[in-house]
Structure 1
Amino acid sequence: MDFFLFQEINNLAGQWKILDYFGIFCAEYLIFLMATAVIILFLTRGDSSETKKENILKVSLSVVGSYLLKIVIQLFYFRPRPFVDHEVVKLIDKSSSSAAFPSGHTIVAFALAFSIFYYNKKLGALFIFLATLVSLGRIYTGVHYPLDVVFGIIVAWITVYAIGKMPWKKLINRFIQK
């Protein structure tokens, strides 16, 4: 089923240049626009200094924590990228030695999106949509299977949820306000 879904999405690649450019943009560059938007959002909002610090810390720990979890997972499980084992339309040049599972781009995009969702539901919904475009772009361009991105979403959600449950007031008082 995983490979079937991969083929259904990836077989669209290479047929329309405009769709290929959009897929590459989503897969490679959209995540940087998302991160920039998050930084601008937190710097321009009228929140108190303490609230800004707390939100920046939560988002940062969510992104870094979920990415570190990805690295740990890849120490124990290696899944080759689709183009290593199959004939695929590959639009992004990736090393065949790098692991596909779980998708790091998906993890970071959804860690940002879920963090923003806890902060602002409407804006978070937009970020979840953008993160979904990143994930679909990773499949479309031939560098990830659907399960790579699904598991990336799960890793991001678990990490953001755990970070959200931490006792932030105590941590901020202890580490930031000294």
Structure 2
Amino acid sequence: MAGLEALESSGSNPDVSLLYDINGLTDSTPGWFDKAMEFVGEYGILLGLVLVVVWCWWGARRRGTLDDAASSVAAVVWAPLAAAAAVLVNVPIRSFVERPRPFKDHDGLTVLLTGKNDFSFVSDHATLAMAMGAALFIAHRKLGLAGLALAVLEGFCRVFMGLHYPTDVIGGFALGTAVALLLSPLASALLTPLARAIGRSRVAWLVWAPTTVAPARGAVELPEARGSAGSAEERDLAA
């Protein structure tokens, strides 16, 4: 770790320079904005990602067949599970690297949230956010893009708050993406049969809630549409 410490103390280290540039934005922001960023960076974005997951699940249930709905719901369920798995993978990484928080080694930083005394690399928040964003992108492209955008914003907030180096965030992005993408086939193989079984149970609405289209008011159903040839008189009237 001596080489890492020497690099961090060097004025030519772009990681530290970028940290000061982003955190230095707090010098020109009002107090209410800093408070808002504190909440958004610590809780708000993760809550937003959870809401996106719920939204995606709600739409995935409305597929035409149970098999389609089961595979879609399984992909959505993988998003929070991927986040949990990525954080578990990060536990030994943090313990091995043992990188202190940036405000412990560098003066002049504005720390918006106190009490963070654990190790800095890799950022748990960045890992969580990007794992969910990447898994959501597999399940639903448009909502996945929203999830990825929220993850990037989460990474910015962590540096802005003075809690992480930019490389902590980049490492979290890489870890979250790797776990979400590499384990996705295994997760699909395990979760899809489970979702299909739930779709046949008493709580089928958790997996499958297809929409039904009611016939238009005043519409006349022809005999052919009822699956019957009908009588000769009915065919003459239909003609």
Measured against the shorter chain, the TM-score band is: 0.7 to 0.9
- Classify the secondary structure of the residue corresponding to 1:60: helix
Distance 1:126 1:40, change over 3 A: closer
Distance 1:25 1:6, change over 3 A: same
2:81 aligns to what?
Answer: 61
Distance 1:167 1:65, change over 3 A: closer
Task: Please tell me the root mean square deviation across aligned C-alpha atoms, in Å.
Answer: 2.3
* Structure of larger gyration radius: 2
- 2:113 maps to a residue whose letter is I
2:34 aligned with 1:13: no
2:96 aligned with 1:76: yes
TM-score under structure 1 length normalisation: 0.88
- Classify the secondary structure of the residue corresponding to 1:79: coil
- 1:120 corresponds, among 140, 154, 164, to 140
- 1:7 maps to a residue whose letter is Y
Deviation readout 1:37-94 (Å, 9 max, x if unpaired):
2123213431445235412442233111101011121121111111111121101123
Offset at 1:143? 0.2
Distance 1:116 1:170, change over 3 A: closer
TM-score under structure 2 length normalisation: 0.67
- 2:126 corresponds, among 103, 106, 120, to 106
Distance 1:124 1:167, change over 3 A: closer
- 1:43 maps to a residue whose letter is W
1:133 aligns to what?
Answer: 153
Identity rate, percent = 24
Question: Partners in 2 of 1:125 and 1:167 — Cα distance?
Answer: 21
Indicate conservation of the 8 Å contact 1:94/1:143, yes or no: no
Distance 1:170 1:9, change over 3 A: closer
Unmatched 5+ stretches in structure 1: none
- 1:160 corresponds, among 164, 170, 180, to 180
2:57 aligned with 1:36: no
Question: Partners in 2 of 1:50 and 1:39 — Cα distance?
Answer: 15
Question: Partners in 1 of 2:104 and 2:197 — Cα distance?
Answer: 50
Unmatched 5+ stretches in structure 2: 1-13, 199-239
Indicate conservation of the 8 Å contact 2:76/2:139, yes or no: no
2:16 aligned with 1:3: yes
Deviation readout 1:135-172 (Å, 9 max, x if unpaired):
10000000000000000000001101112232734564
Structure 1 window deviating more from structure 2 (150-159 vs 74-83): it is 74-83
- Classify the secondary structure of the residue corresponding to 2:186: coil
Offset at 1:26? 3.2
4+ residue stretches of structure 1 with deviation over 4 A? none
Q: Count the aligned residue pairs.
A: 177
2:155 aligned with 1:142: no
